Amino acid sequence: MHYKPQLPDESVNVTSNNFFVEAFKLLVGLVVVLILSYALLMFVIGVGIDHLSIDHEKKIHKMLAQKIDRNQSKEEHYLQSIVDDLNRCAKLPYNLEVSISSSSQVNAMALIGGRIIVTQGMLDAIQNENELSFVLGHEMAHFKHRDHLKGMSSGIVLTLFSIFLGNNSSTILNQLLEMEQMHYSKKQESHADRFGVDMLMCRYNTTVGSSDLFARMTQEDQWSDFMLTHPNFSKRVKKIENYIVQKGLNQKGESVPLQF
Partner 1 sequence: MGMIDIIIFITLVLLGYVVGSVLERRHYQSIRQREEEFLALPTIALKTPLNGATIIDTRLVMGSTVISIDYFKKILASLRNLFGGNVAAYETLIDRARRESILRLKESAKDADEIINIKIETSSISKNTQGNIGAVEVLAYGTAIYRKKV
Tell me: does residue 228 bind partner 1 (CB under 8 A): no
- Residue 151 φ/ψ, nearest 5 degrees: -60, -35
Q: How far is the CB of 65 from partner 1 (least distance, A)?
A: 30
- Report the DSSP pairing between strands 97-101 and 115-119: parallel
DSSP for 93-127, written as a single string: SS--EEEEE---S--EEEETTTEEEEEHHHHHH--
Interface with partner 1 (CB under 8 A), residue from 36, 60, 172, 179: 172
Interface with partner 1 (CB under 8 A), residue from 73, 175, 205, 259: 175
- Write each residue from 26 to 65 as x if it is in contact with partner 1 (CB under 8 A), else as -, in one continuous string: xx-xx-----------------------------------
Distance CA 254, CA 260 (A): 18
Q: How far is the CB of 53 from partner 1 (least distance, A)?
A: 38
Q: Is 37 exposed, middle or buried (0-12, 13-18, 19+ CB in 10 A)?
A: middle
Restricting to residues 4-23, name those near partner 1 by CB under 8 A: 5-8, 13-15, 17, 19-20, 22-23
Q: What's the CA dihedral at 73, 61, 138, 228 to 10 degrees? A: 90
Interface with partner 1 (CB under 8 A), residue from 73, 81, 171, 234: 171
User: For the chain, where are the E strands, in sequence order?
Assistant: 97-101, 108-111, 115-119
Q: How far is the CB of 10 from partner 1 (least distance, A)?
A: 8
Residues of this chain that interact with partner 1 (CB under 8 A) are 1, 3, 5-8, 13-15, 17, 19-20, 22-23, 26-27, 29-30, 168, 171-172, 175
